[in-house]
Amino acid sequence: MRKFAATTTMLIMTVFAASSLSAQGWVSYTTGNSGIPDNTVRSLVFDSDNTLWVGTDSSLARLAGDTWTFYTTDDNIAGTQIRDLAFEITDHGPEIWVASNNGVSVLGVDVDAVTVATPYRSDNTGLISNSVNAAEVTTDHVRWFGTDEGVSTFDSDNWVSYTIDDLLSMNRVISIGAAGDGWIFLGTDGGGVSRYDGVSAASPYDTEWSGVPSNTILSVFVEDSNHQWFGTDKGIAYHSNIETKYDWTRYTTDNGLADNTVYAITKDLDGIMWFGTANGVSKFDGETWTNYTTADGLAGNTVYSLTVGTNNSIWAGTNGGLSRLGEIITAVDDTEALPAVITIDGVYPNPFNPTANISFSLPSDGTVTMHVYNVAGQKVATLLDGTMSAGHHTVVWNGMNAEGLAASSGVYFVTLNMNGLTAAQRMTLVR
């Protein structure tokens, strides 16, 4: 495959110096102060190198440090409007799947270069429709694409599509969530949630037989097959049971949600839920709701996408640009000087198999914990829990979970905590 350097079609602009960023307020990137190509940001995903990929209404963009690069149909991106993004580690390396208004594209990504995109459309593949609204990759490397005419899957060899005649309750699929045990949750426009266990369809979640407040499912966040969050145009539904009728909790503006139209859902490294709505971002810690709007520095009040970055920063894609809450942490110099705060200096190698060396620095003696979490926010392993001295240290994760079993391939977060301070780093395990 031909590769082009990350500077191809690049618009470079230094936005903010990382050392000057405040963790107390939102920092926004717009066409007026950065190299972002469009202020309507519909999708966000981080790759294994902590590079942020941004789907906008005019092109795909990449933010690495302070440098913006954007990719258009001239670079074989299938469509101009990027509606969803999914990250995957394959045998060929890390890849980004791009769902658009005119098909699907895939790019190989690494530190040095980005592989020219390969487009997939209904006229040259088994993709059921070129109007692709959602993308998801399962742990067994099956890609799911929700379209206006059904859902299509691709396992690198074969395309399979499903419609209302098969497992779907409605053909227009606008959101997708995947559980690690094989369950797929397909959010439809008017038919509720269609569920698929890898073998057959299960009873849908709809307003008649479940606790969803609306059959228009705008967003899906799956912790596992027994815990799912659904954002609708009439509020949020949380389900803590695989059985259709049981254990539903609803949240609306009456509870503290910023708006009942919920486009995006994510969970941070502390287990706190975040929701992107039609009137700002809502944060929910299980008891208290906190809302953010443009009055708090958010770029726009319509929030289409959310993701969690390094150091537990929250990134929001809005109708007015990209916003970030929290600092971007950069690695400290390898010197004997003590850092001012706790830092995770790096993970090497990254991606890794089977072990990763995690280097970190402590400004003082103290009680330290270090945990590994998966992308659903579930704790996978505890690496440190005790008193440590100030200075620079390294710990090794052997890729095993708390039960002594090998963790599956995928993206993980390592978190370091001491005296109320937290640092985090993304890492990728490739089996």
| Span 10-49, pLDDT tens digits | 333 333 323 223 334 899 999 999 999 999 999 999 988 8
Q: What is the pLDDT of residue 112?
A: 64
Output the pLDDT for position 165.
Answer: 93
Q: Which of residues 238 and 352 earns the better pLDDT score?
A: 238
Q: Cα Rg for the chain, rounded, in angstroms?
A: 21
The mean pLDDT of the chain is 88
User: Which residues are CB-contacts of 424 (< 8 A; sequence separation ≥ 6)?
Assistant: 269, 310, 311, 312, 329, 344, 413, 414, 415, 416
pLDDT tens digits, one per residue of 44-75: 999 888 899 999 999 999 998 888 999 999 99
Task: Map residue 130 onto helix, strand or coil.
Answer: coil
Task: Give the contacts of 55 (CB within 8 A, at least 6 positions apart).
Answer: 41, 42, 43, 44, 61, 82, 83, 84, 85, 98, 305, 317
CA distance 297 to 301: 10
332 has a pLDDT exceeding 60: no
Asked if pLDDT for residue 166 goes beyond 50, the answer is: yes
Using CA atoms, how far apart are residues 428 and 201, in angstroms rounded to an integer?
Answer: 32
Cβ atoms 178, 185 nearer than 8 A: yes
Confidence of residue 419 (pLDDT cuts 50, 70, 90): confident
Which of 110-119, 180-189, 236-245 shows the lowest per-residue confidence on average (mean pLDDT)?
110-119
| pLDDT (tens digit per residue) in 108-164 | 987 667 887 899 999 999 999 999 999 999 888 999 999 999 999 999 999 999 999
- With CA atoms as reference, report the closest residue to 309 among 216, 423, 231: 423
pLDDT tens for each residue of 214-238: 999 999 999 888 899 999 999 999 9
What pLDDT band is residue 392 in, cutting at 50, 70 and 90? Answer: confident
Q: Is the pLDDT of residue 1 over 60?
A: no
Please compute the mean of the pLDDT values over residues 282-302 and round it to a whole number.
97
- The pLDDT of residue 205 is above 90: yes
Output the pLDDT for position 328.
65
Question: Band of the pLDDT at 330, cuts 50, 70, 90?
Answer: very low
Q: What is the per-residue pLDDT for 388?
A: 83
d(CA 319, CA 303): 7
Mean pLDDT lowest for which of 3-7, 71-75, 102-106, 338-342?
A: 3-7
Q: Residue 7 pLDDT > 60, yes or no?
A: no
Which superfamily, per CATH, for 3-325?
YVTN repeat-like/Quinoprotein amine dehydrogenase (2.130.10.10)
Higher confidence at residue 76 or residue 340? Answer: 76
Q: What does the pLDDT look like over 102-111, one tens digit per residue?
A: 999 999 987 6
Is 343-429 CATH 2.60.40.4070? yes
Query: Residue ranges per domain, the chain?
Result: 3-325, 343-429
Residue 338 pLDDT class (50, 70, 90 cuts): low
User: DSSP letters along 269-305, please?
Assistant: TTS-EEEEETTEEEEE-SS-EEEE-GGGT-S-S-EEE
